[in-house]
Amino acid sequence: MAALPHRYPMLLVDRVERLVIDRSITAIKAVSINEGFFQGHFPGRPIMPGVLIVEALAQAAGVLAVESLGLADSGKLVYFMAIDGAKFRTPVEPGCLLQLDVEFVQKRSSVCKFAGRASVDGKLAAEASFTAMIADPPA
């Protein structure tokens, strides 16, 4: 929580399992039936929305960027700029532990590119490449 500004209900990273500065991160999202989006997505067949899986990957990337670039307590935020090649392979359901694996593809002081993969029990659920910008929060 120290690395991200997100809070409930938008905080989608529950635990960092492994962080290799300047390289990669493995984080976990515990997917619970109590999450508000399951009420409408879908009644009788709850599935985590793909856009939120990509958001969880982006938040893991945000932790990686903040820690690697020494931005903790700087007030800087990590903003999405682009999402490329997002693919969804299998549904993510309540009760799953969603593993978020993200690595740097390119790292600069203000723009970073990442590759992310989300999996459940070793099975690929989603993948995407994305770009983020490090900037000051809006005034």
The label of the residue with tokens 């029990």 reads 121
109 vs 135: CA distance, rounded Å: 10
Q: What span, in angstroms and rounded, lies between the C-alpha atoms of 118 and 60?
A: 11
Residues with Cβ within 8 Å of residue 45, at least 6 apart in sequence: none
Q: Which of 5, 16, 41, 94 is catalytic?
A: 41
Task: Examine the residue annotation and report whether 6 is marked as an active-site residue of this protein.
Answer: no
DSSP classification of residue 72: T
User: Kind and range of the H or E element at 57?
Assistant: helix 50-68
- The one-character DSSP state at 8 is T
Closest CA to 54 of 96, 7, 98: 98
Instruction: Please give the positions annotated as active site.
Output: 41
